[in-house]
């Protein structure tokens, strides 16, 4: 018996619904949509602290995003993402004794405030920050606790380059601080005796 036009349309709609539902379950999930399972922050040493977010991609693999924050001068000094094995992640957490678990919402707030602080001093976030920004923005901020981080060393911008940092880059950063804050309005500490500033 032939189906009426109305029945044919209904059957076609049901087929399309099933196909859409099947495609939805097979669609790959974006890493940025995966929930953060753990977030970590290192101790702050000479104005430097690092933050790590971990997402489980599978039982064998993690996706981590790392941020090196200079809360005394530069803001986000470096940032990168990578996939690592479960074993590598476990080893990273074992060897990094300075890391403690912190709520991801609190660390999101810290990173965004650090970006603002760096920009106030004339520095854009470095590394893969722009690429990683969607990952950060997806973290909810409702009921997040304050990160209680104060920027600068007792409120004073203090730039301490690593001993092996490129001298040209150090001079460029000092020029940026001069232009943005004015000479004498920040501190510079050269760890290496090789700096000829």
Domain boundary among 116, 140, 164: 140
Q: Do residues 101 and 178 share a domain?
A: no
Per-residue pLDDT of the chain (197 residues; tens, 9 = 90+): 565 666 666 666 666 666 555 444 444 556 666 778 889 999 888 999 999 999 988 888 999 999 999 999 999 999 999 999 989 988 887 777 678 899 999 999 999 999 999 999 999 999 999 999 988 888 887 776 788 899 999 999 999 998 888 889 999 999 999 999 999 999 999 876 565 55
Q: What is the pTM of this model?
A: 0.79
- Write out the residue range of the structural domain in which residue 119 sits: 34-140
Q: Looking at the 3D structure of the chain, how many domains does it have?
A: 2
Encoded tokens for 114 = 């650090």
Of 97, 114, 140, the one marking the end of a domain is 140
> Does residue 15 belong to any structural domain of this protein?
no
pLDDT of res. 86: 87
Residue 91: inside a domain, yes or no?
Answer: yes
* Type and span of the H or E element at 94: helix 86-95
Distance CA 156, CA 78 (A): 22
Same domain, 95 and 188: no
Q: Is 48 a member of any domain?
A: yes
């Amino acid at each position: 018996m032939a189906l009426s036009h109305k029945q044919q349309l209904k059957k076609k709609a049901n087929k399309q619904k099933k196909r859409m539902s099947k495609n939805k379950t097979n669609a790959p999930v974006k890493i940025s949509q995966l929930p953060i399972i753990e977030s970590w922050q290192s101790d702050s040493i000479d104005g430097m602290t690092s933050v790590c977010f971990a997402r489980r991609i599978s039982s064998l693999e993690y996706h981590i995003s790392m941020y090196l924050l200079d809360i005394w001068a530069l803001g986000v000094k470096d940032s990168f993402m990578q996939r690592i094995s479960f074993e590598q992640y476990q080893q990273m957490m074992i060897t990094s004794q300075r890391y403690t678990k912190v709520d991801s919402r609190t660390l999101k707030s810290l990173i965004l405030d650090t970006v603002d602080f760096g920009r106030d001093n004339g520095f854009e976030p470095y590394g893969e920050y722009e690429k990683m920004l969607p990952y950060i923005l997806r973290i909810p901020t409702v009921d997040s606790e304050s990160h209680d981080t104060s920027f600068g060393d007792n409120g004073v911008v203090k730039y301490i380059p690593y001993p092996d940092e490129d001298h040209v880059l150090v001079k460029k950063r000092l020029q940026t601080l001069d232009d943005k804050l004015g000479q004498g309005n920040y501190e510079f500490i050269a760890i290496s005796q090789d700096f000829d500033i």
